[in-house]
Structure formats: structure tokens, C-alpha cells
């Protein structure tokens, strides 16, 4: 018998937070693994110099009183809100974990890097709607974000039991759509798609530590493009 705890976005974050706890629900002989899709939320500074995502996560931690449920190895050295960010947790998770994420996560672009409150003049509106509209300075911000994403998994990927697939796409959640998960033109790194990569890790057919080159190198991406006037949720 095998068990897999998986989720995307907030569910991906939950998969990270509860991975070891989930493992403890099963007898030792049961194979247990976790998959987090788009769950690597980063504690970044927004374009106005504020901490939009940190303030949001602090509200969640405070409102729901989750401090007592966060790993002690983290809360013993950091504040509870910091321990809600996966970058401060993943290297210490004991259960095998696969991290699937877009390096240019569009939810984080909208809500962490350039939320409306940090961009009241709408300087980032066109760029957020379509990455082709980003100017050179905006692209540098996005490249810095990608590098932060890559750096956040350096220690995590040293452990053979873990898997990593970070592609250079403008996307969010890639397991819940057939065209990105297992379609004939699914996003790929080194000619291997997402489902094949996860499967190779899960069934231990191969070690999977795939990190894409920076935008615009990957023609396999399914990039999300929005109308500039639309609201992204």
C-alpha cells in the first residue's frame, strides 16, 4: 500500500506543512510521500518595498492560531509567520517530498510582488496580464524572483529522497490541468514532462532534480495570459 498527500496552491502549502504529520498516520511499512504543486510561497519584498505576502500570512497565522501546529524545529529559532513559509521548512521535512513550481508563479506575481496596493499607479498592470509587456526593469525583478525560488530549494534538493521540478513558466498549479500535467505538449525540462517526472520520483525509477534555465529559454511552457482589465484570483 502507498499513500500520497498532494495539493496545489494553498493545498500545496498544506501538503508541505502537514507532510510529516501525514506520514505519522500510517504504519511504518506503508510508503508515504507528498507532492506540493505551486506551494512554494516566498517571503519576498513587493515592488513598493512592503511585505504584502508576509502581512497576509501573518493574518492567517494569527487568526487561525496555527503557531502551536508549526514545526518546533522552526518556531524554536524563528517567528511563527516565518515558519509558515515553505522555504524555512522544506529542508527539514523527513518524508519524501516533491516540489513542483513555476519559477514565475503568476499568483505570487499578482499578490506578492506587485499587488494593487503596492502599485497604485498601475505600472505593473500590463506586465502582470502578459509577460510580453514587461519592460527590462520589470523582467529583472522577475528574474530575481526566480533566483530566490531556485535558492530556496538548494538544501532541499541535496537529499536524494526529494524531487524538484521548477520550470521557467508563467503559471500557477500545473497538476490540475490535463494539458500541463500529462498532455502531448506538456511543459518539459530535459525532454521530460511533469507527470513523467513525478512518476519517476514516486516509483523511484530515477532521481528528479530539474530546474529550468531562465525565461525565455523554455518553448514548452503554457504561460497564463490575462486581459489587462481582468481580476486574477
Name all contacts of 149-156 with Cβ < 8 Å and 24+ positions apart.
149/40, 149/42, 149/101, 149/103, 149/105, 150/103, 150/211, 152/40, 152/42, 152/86, 152/87, 152/90, 153/40, 153/90, 153/99, 153/211, 155/91, 156/90, 156/91, 156/97, 156/99
DSSP code string of 116-161: GGG-TT-TTHHHHH-GGG--HHHHHHHHHHHHHHHHHTTTGGGSTT
Which of 43, 46, 168, 172 is catalytic? The answer is 172
218 is catalytic: no
DSSP state for residue 111 in the 8-state scheme: I
Q: Which of 37, 43, 105, 212 is catalytic?
A: 105
Give yes or no: 18 in active site. no
Known active-site residue 186: no
Residues annotated as catalytic are: 9, 105, 172
Amino acid at each position: 500500500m502507498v499513500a500520497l498527500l498532494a495539493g496545489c496552491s494553498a493545498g500545496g502549502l498544506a501538503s508541505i506543512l502537514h507532510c510529516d504529520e501525514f506520514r505519522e498516520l500510517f504504519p511504518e511499512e506503508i510508503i508515504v510521500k507528498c507532492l506540493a504543486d505551486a506551494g512554494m510561497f516566498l517571503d519576498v519584498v513587493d515592488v513598493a518595498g512592503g511585505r504584502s505576502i508576509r502581512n497576509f500570512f501573518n493574518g492567517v497565522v494569527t487568526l487561525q492560531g496555527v503557531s502551536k501546529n508549526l514545526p518546533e524545529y522552526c518556531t524554536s529559532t524563528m517567528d511563527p509567520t516565518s515558519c509558515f513559509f515553505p522555504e524555512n521548512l522544506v529542508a527539514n521535512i523527513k518524508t519524501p517530498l516533491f516540489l513542483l513550481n513555476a519559477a514565475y508563479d503568476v499568483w505570487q506575481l499578482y499578490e506578492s510582488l506587485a499587488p494593487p496596493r503596492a502599485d497604485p499607479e498601475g505600472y505593473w498592470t500590463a506586465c502582470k496580464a502578459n509577460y510580453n509587456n514587461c519592460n527590462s526593469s520589470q523582467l529583472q525583478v522577475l528574474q530575481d524572483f526566480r533566483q530566490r525560488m531556485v535558492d530556496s530549494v538548494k538544501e532541499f534538493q541535496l537529499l536524494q529522497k526529494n524531487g524538484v521540478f521548477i520550470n521557467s513558466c508563467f503559471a500557477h498549479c500545473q497538476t490540475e490541468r490535463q494539458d500541463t500535467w500529462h498532455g502531448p505538449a506538456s511543459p518539459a525540462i530535459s525532454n521530460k514532462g511533469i507527470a513523467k517526472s513525478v512518476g519517476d520520483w514516486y516509483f523511484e525509477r530515477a532521481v528528479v532534480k530539474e530546474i529550468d534555465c531562465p525565461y525565455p529559454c523554455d518553448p514548452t511552457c503554457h504561460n497564463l495570459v490575462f486581459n489587462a482589465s481582468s481580476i486574477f484570483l
